[in-house]
Amino acid sequence: MEQKKRILLLTTGGTIACRPGEEGLEPHHSGVMEREIQQLGTYYDITVEDVLCLDSSNIRPEEWQQIARHIYERRRGFDGIVVSHGTDTMAYTASAVTFMLPGIDIPVVFTGSQLPLADVLSDGPDNLRTAFAMAASGHPGVFLAFDRKVMLGCRAVKVRASGFSAFESINARYAGVVSSQGLVTDPRVLPNPAGVPQLLDTISSNVFLLKLTPGLSADIFDALAAMGYKGIVMEAFGLGGINVLNQGLAGIRKAVDAGISVVVTTQCLYDSSDLRVYQVGNKLLDMGVIQGRDMTSEAAMTKLMWAIGQGMTPSEITKLFAKSLAGEITVM
């Protein structure tokens, strides 16, 4: 008889672990998962540890660090790790943990649900089954499993507030899908972690995500600098269009000259920003603005937070954003 794969389930709260309370759904510890854990125990040797018990709206960079440290410290002796998490900020956590754990040598799979496990129609059991299958696959990396699909943690974005197909893999193929053949993984997508696994969890919270709007005042850049921000991720228009009126370029130049790393992504969910196409984009590149290319906003923000936390200089960060660390960017 084949030996069961050893899987560690880390719980952090979220809808999947919620029960109705006096003021609405409230997250609980892993006791609410007992039925599903027993069923999965037929196929896997499962250890359960409660790390947090939070609505994911309340998960901050400090909790990202706590989750990453727990994964790193407890990974030995397990074939894979599943992290149950609320859906609202799971893409941020999965991206952040991806950068905090370079060289991770086992699968780490985030999952959750749109309906609590206590609901008879919950999508939670199916999502857990997919996550456990990926955790037992032997493919190292950080992933997110939802609605019978597995995607890189640094490519996942929540695209639906209530639908069961809540997450999509943006600008990248799925790492795996569940079909009549079981879990089928795509070797073109699977990361290939190199080197010794490391925990590099120092991160900076001084990064601001700015969505450009028509007529936005350039004073916003002075305000962000005055507030101590060290990085800005700008969701620009289309391929990377920026307001050039109202001294927009001057404001960005002042921020870059002040040592603030400015990364430009696009407000469009799919495809890539490309600052080389239009005149204004080339002006931005000349100023030292960094191209976010086809990264998700979640990945761009957490990668910048991580890079600043690692003590990198603006020029080092520019070079870093031209590299794919874990599949978060398509390198041309």
What does the block give as tokens for 143? 């992933």
Cα–Cα distance between 105 and 68 in angstroms, integer? 14
Instruction: Quote the tokens at residue 128.
Output: 């857990």
Give the separation between CA 238 and CA 160, rounded to whole angstroms: 22
Residue type, 281: G
Q: Give the SS3 label for residue 7.
A: strand
Determine the straight-line distance between the first and last CA of the chain, rounded to whole angstroms: 47
Q: Is 144 helix (H, G, I), strand (E, B) or coil?
A: strand
Other beta carbons within 10 Å of 103: 14
At 322, the amino acid letter reads A
Question: Is 185 noted as a catalytic residue in this protein?
Answer: no
Residue with tokens 């193929």: 173
Please tell me which residue in 11, 12, 15, 89 is annotated as part of the active site. Answer: 15
- Contact predicate 201/104, CB 8 Å: no
| Number of residues that this document lists for the chain | 332
Put residue 326 in one of left, alpha, beta given phi > 0 → left and psi -120 to 50 → alpha.
Answer: alpha
Nearest in space to 311 (alpha carbons), one of 257, 230, 246: 230
Q: Do residues 207 and 308 make contact, with C-beta atoms less than 8 angstroms apart?
A: yes
| Beta-carbon contacts of residue 21 (< 8 Å; ≥ 6 apart) | none
Angle of the 279-287 helix axis to the 248-257 helix axis, nearest 10: 20
Distance of alpha carbon 200 from alpha carbon 320, whole angstroms: 15
Active site residues: 15
